[in-house]
Chain A
Amino acid sequence: MYRIVSKERLAHKQTLFEVEAPEIAAKAQPGQFLIVIPTEGGERVPLTICDYEADKGTVSFAFHEVGKTTKELGTFEEGDRLFNVTGPLGNPSQIGKYGRVLCVGGGIMIAPVLLQAKAMKAAGNHVTTVLGSRSEEFLFMREKAASLSDEVHLATDDGSVGEKGLEFLTDLLKKERFDRCVVMGPVVMMKMVSEITRPFNLPTIVSLTPIMIDGMGMCGVCRVTVGGNMLFGCVDGPEFDGHLTNFDELIKRQRTMLPEERLSSILWENKGRCKCGRN
């Protein structure tokens, strides 16, 4: 189990894995996540499910190499096995016929937002997908987005392709009416999109995978304040109302272990690949 069936480089340091996990594949639904432990003694990392094929018995997830564990994951090749993959975790997305749905994906989370687009389309919605990233070379899965959506908009921070920044969304919302918005991306981006949609009263769902350890309701490190209540990202989420989420607190909580994460990452870089004995 947990054999990597395919490894796809999406962009620099951004990778998609398709992993053999038949029982998970049989139960996975859009919006849910996995806890991945690359090697014995490794961290438990929450990663959103990007796709699943029950017949083939595989489930896919994407990651951006930012810390030690994701960098280590990046060294895994097709045919390698992961130590453990637990899932599906969290509540599935509420997929339904809403009418016109806006799916916004940023950075590595473009990969799972397309699963949302696919499911929303299958449920009979008109789907507009927005793909956002730093610059053109990080903007992947454009063709897939086009095939799954009725409309696609591209946006980059530097304007190298598509719109520059996400401010154009305001104009889009003025021009077109939407019934639901789904956002997956960095916390700052989800905060920004939620602020843009707020004046339009557009119901906005954000997918939060804060720092987690067990991912099943035990540790409480993933707690977020939503509508003034303390909720857990893992068991109450991962999807919450973006207009009620306290993003500023979440951003601070995401940074609580930053020095340790940095140290771990530097040690990994310095040691190179020899540590795992996989050369």
Chain B
Amino acid sequence: MEGTEEKTASNPMNVDVEMPRQRPKERVKNFKEVALGYTEEMAIQEARRCMQCKNPPCIKGCPVDVPIPSFIDCILQGKYAEGIAVIKTKNSLPAVCGRVCPQEGQCQMNCVRGKKGDPVNIGRLERFLADWEREHGAQIPERTPSTGKKVAVIGGGPAGLTAAADLVKMGHAVTLFEALHVAGGVLSYGIPEFRLPKDIVQKEIEYVQKLGVDLRLGNLIGRIHTIPELMEQGYHAIFISSGAGLPQWTGCPGENLGGIYSANEFLIRVNLMKAYNFPEQDTPIRIGKHVVVIGGGNVAMDCARISMRLGAKVCLNYRRSRTELPARREEIENAEEEGLMCNFLNAPAEFYGDEKGWVRSMRCTCMELTESDEKGRQGVKPIACSDFEVDADTIIVAIGQTPNPIIQRTTAGLKTDPRNGTIIVDEDGRTNLDGVFAGGDVATGAATVISAMGAGKRAAKAMHEYLMNEGPRGERPSTGN
């Protein structure tokens, strides 16, 4: 770590406790979790670094307001069960958040310790408690007396699981409709095993079920039931959290060649269908020797790291430069340690195939950085006559996802943004239709797990108020075309 020496010299408390990880050379050959978690001693040592601020700035950085200093204090006192209970007052998926939250840009960014050294590793401490609880058996809180209200939550990803858990804790009868045969959304199909083991996700889902949520798998809302039909069936309020599952494409010629995967297809095959275990598992994945991943976000990093584990040489082609890579630093470092090569400032122009229709190479155009747009996003433009060809027998397009349109198409009057298909909501997740709320990626476009959870939490609160106080408001949903 850069600057570590200096920090150590001044004050050892300014340096965080490293978390053991599998070594790059070993881990690139398996799908086991890379980060191994703190031992009890490590957790206590790290917990000591928390200054127990009176007015803790870390909580302000947390989208779901976890009482961070309180749970860290519980670790110091060895009261682990109490610590996890403190977290779970605000966050029903701590084992997930402890692993995949971008803490460096949230709670940890605000940590006072961070001013002179490393911030307290809040994420690792959260993970420690969640893992401790999983080994010792989770406590299920007592059921809240029923309010007699029925709620439908659509989509079992982070937003839906959070909203469902909160709503059932408030005493509502919650049915969670999941379109796939496994709940978890992006936690199950998107994030790879080595970053978020699937048995951990399953345990978190089971916890939400034990709270009393009725989980229905294989139910694609919009087809098996529409939103207006759910209202007719007696649901008093509905939360749409169907995510952003529709892949975006480059639009370049040749994109339908064999060997060109959307990031979604690649991830679904490997994570959800466990194609890395083919033929023990039935769903196959075909990977070549030279993989090019197009994109620069966390999804692109996940695809690259999976490809390396499947034995390929992987190059990441990103249209901007290293500085603009949207992926978490930690993920970029992990990927590069595992052998990822990066090719910056170029964009795909065309894909070429062999006689069997399988991709063999791609043509790229060099790009240069220009001025930033109003949103502060770095601009890029192509450089004339700069095209070059690279060999690739597998290409993964990881340039973003937009919301799946099925619900929007089958719910007349539901207001969406015509540019990207997101459902338009207010800050508490209210749509323009009475009793219908939405949140997570379906409302924001592809974002993080924790921001989706935050949206689920805010919507659950607003839905509770709606169910208990508010009368009908505005339009009722009706069946679309």
Contacts and interface: CB of A to CB of B under 8 A. Distances in A.
Interface of A: 23-24, 27, 32, 35, 37, 41-44, 68-69, 83-89, 213-214, 216-221, 223-225, 230, 235, 249, 252-253, 255-257, 259-261, 263-264, 267
B346 interface: no
B24 interface: no
B80 to A, nearest CB: 33
A253 B246 contact: no
Contacts of A257: 284, 286
A220 B264 contact: yes
Contacts of A213: 265, 268-269, 273, 283
A41 B357 contact: no
Nearest to A267: B279
Contact of B406 (A42, A217, A249, A256): A217
A219 B265 contact: yes
Nearest to B216: A23
B281 interface: yes
B274 interface: yes
B308 to A, nearest CB: 20
Contact of B282 (A23, A32, A252, A264): A264
Contacts of A27: 223-225
Contacts of B388: none
A235 B247 CA distance: 13
A44 B281 CA distance: 12
Nearest to B247: A220
Nearest to B258: A256
B269 A84 contact: no
Interface in B355-383: 356-358
Which residue, B218, B262, B279, has most C-beta atoms of chain A within 10 A?
B218
Nearest to B229: A27
Contacts of B405: 217, 235
A158 to B, nearest CB: 29
A178 to B, nearest CB: 27
Contacts of B284: 257, 260-261, 264
Contacts of A87: 220, 223-224
Given A37-B181, A86-B179, A220 B265 contact: yes
Given A86-B181, A252-B258, 5 more contacts: A27-B225, A44-B181, A86-B219, A214-B245, A219-B269
Contact of B258 (A24, A220, A253): A253
Interface string B236-265: 000000000111010000011011011011
B224 A249 contact: no
A229 B404 CA distance: 18
Contacts of A41: 274, 281-282
Which residue, A68, A87, A214, A230, has most C-beta atoms of chain B within 10 A?
A214
B217 interface: yes
Interface string B204-246: 0000000000000111100111000000000000000000011
A249 B356 CA distance: 10
B170 interface: no
Given A41-B274, A256-B258, A257-B284, A216 B179 contact: yes
Given A41-B274, A84-B218, A264-B279, A217 B245 contact: yes
21 contacts: A23-B219, A27-B223, A43-B273, A69-B282, A84-B181, A86-B179, A88-B224, A214-B179, A214-B180, A214-B245, A216-B404, A218-B245, A218-B247, A218-B404, A219-B262, A220-B264, A225-B256, A230-B256, A257-B284, A257-B286, A264-B279
Nearest to A250: B256
Nearest to A83: B181
A23 B258 CA distance: 36
Nearest to B249: A230
B278 A260 contact: yes
B357 A253 contact: yes
Contacts of B259: 256
A260 B283 CA distance: 9
Which residue, A256, A259, A261, has most C-beta atoms of chain B within 10 A?
A256
A252 B354 CA distance: 11
* Closest 10 pairs (CB-CB, A-B): A252-B357, A260-B284, A256-B258, A219-B265, A86-B218, A220-B262, A218-B245, A43-B282, A84-B181, A220-B247
A121 B111 CA distance: 71
Given A249-B256, A253-B256, A217 B246 contact: yes
Contacts of A219: 247, 262, 264-265, 268-269
Contacts of B223: 27, 32, 87-89
B206 to A, nearest CB: 16
Interface string B404-421: 111000000000000000
Which residue, B179, B245, B249, has most C-beta atoms of chain A within 10 A?
B179
A230 B257 CA distance: 12
Nearest to B278: A260
B239 to A, nearest CB: 19
Contacts of B357: 249, 252-253, 255-256
A230 B253 CA distance: 11
A262 to B, nearest CB: 10
Interface string B70-109: 0000000000000000000000000000000000000000
A32 B249 CA distance: 26
B265 A68 contact: no
Which residue, A23, A68, A86, has most C-beta atoms of chain B within 10 A?
A86
A23 B219 CA distance: 9
A264 B181 CA distance: 22
Given A43-B282, A86-B218, A23 B358 contact: no
Nearest to B218: A86
